[in-house]
Structure 1
C-alpha cells in the first residue's frame, strides 16, 4: 500500500479529510513508536510507505508506556481533532496498518503496545 492509499483508507474509515488523515497517520505512527522497542520499530517501519517510516522510528527513540485513553488525548492535543475524532482516527490507522503490512509484522508490533489497543481495531 502506498502513502496516498494509506491516507485515503484512514480518511474513509475515520470520516476525516485527507489532510486530517495524513496528519493523524503520522502522529499515530509516531505515538505507536513510543510503545514498541526500537528494534521492532525498525522492522515494522520497513513495511510502511516511505513517507511514514521515520515517524515510527522517531517515536521509538523515546519509549514509554501509556494506555489507549492517553493515546487519544495525545493525538487530540497534537493534531487538533476532537477527542471522538482522534479516537476514530486511531482506530482507522490501526485498521489500515493491519491491511498495509504483513500479518507477522502487524502482530509483532501490536504484541508490544497493549491489549486494549487491539480491542479497538474494527
Structure 2
C-alpha cells in the first residue's frame, strides 16, 4: 500500500477531516514507536512507505509500558484532535496498518500491545476499505 492510499483509507475510516489524516498517522506511528521495542518498530517500518518510516524511529531500545488510554492521550495531543477523535483515529490507523503489512508483522506488533488494543482493532470501523 502506498502512502497516498494509506492516508485515503484512514480518512475514510476515521472521523477526522482529510487534512488531519497525515498528522493523525504521524502521531499514531510516533506513539507506536514508543510502545514497541526498537527492533519491532524497525521491522514494521521496513514494510511501510518511506514517509511512514521516520515516525517509527524508536526513541529507546526498550518499549515504554503504557496502556491504550495513555496511547490515545498521546496521539490526541500530538495530532491536535480530541481524545474521542484520537480513539477512532487509532482504530482506523491500526486497521489500515493491518491491511498494509504482512499478517505475521501485524501479529508481532499486536503481541507487544495490551489486550485492549486487540479489542479496539476488532471493533468495526466506520467504513471498511
State TM-score, norm by structure 1. 0.93
Q: CA deviation at 1:15?
A: 2.7
Q: CA deviation at 1:53?
A: 0.8
For 1:65 and 1:8, the matched residues in 2 are separated by 31
- Kindly provide the CA deviation profile for residues 11-62 of structure 1, in whole angstroms up to 9, marking residues without a partner as x: 11013222201110111011111111111111111001110011112xx223
RMSD: 1.1
Q: CA deviation at 1:77?
A: 1.4
Runs of at least 5 residues in structure 2 that lack an aligned partner in the other structure: 124-129
Indicate the residue corresponding to 2:82 in structure 1.
Answer: 82
Q: How does 1:1-122 map to 2 (within 5 A)?
A: 1-57=1-57, 60-62=58-60, 63-121=63-121, 122=123
Q: CA deviation at 1:94?
A: 0.3
Structure whose residues are more often helix by fraction: 1
Q: CA deviation at 1:80?
A: 1.3
Secondary structure, aligned partner of 1:25: helix
8 Å Cα contact 1:29/1:55 also seen in 2: yes
- Kindly provide the CA deviation profile for residues 48-90 of structure 1, in whole angstroms up to 9, marking residues without a partner as x: 1110011112xx2233111111111111112111111111000
State TM-score, norm by structure 2. 0.88
For 2:37 and 2:93, the matched residues in 1 are separated by 19
Secondary structure, aligned partner of 1:98: helix
Q: CA deviation at 1:99?
A: 0.3
Count of residue pairs the alignment pairs up: 120
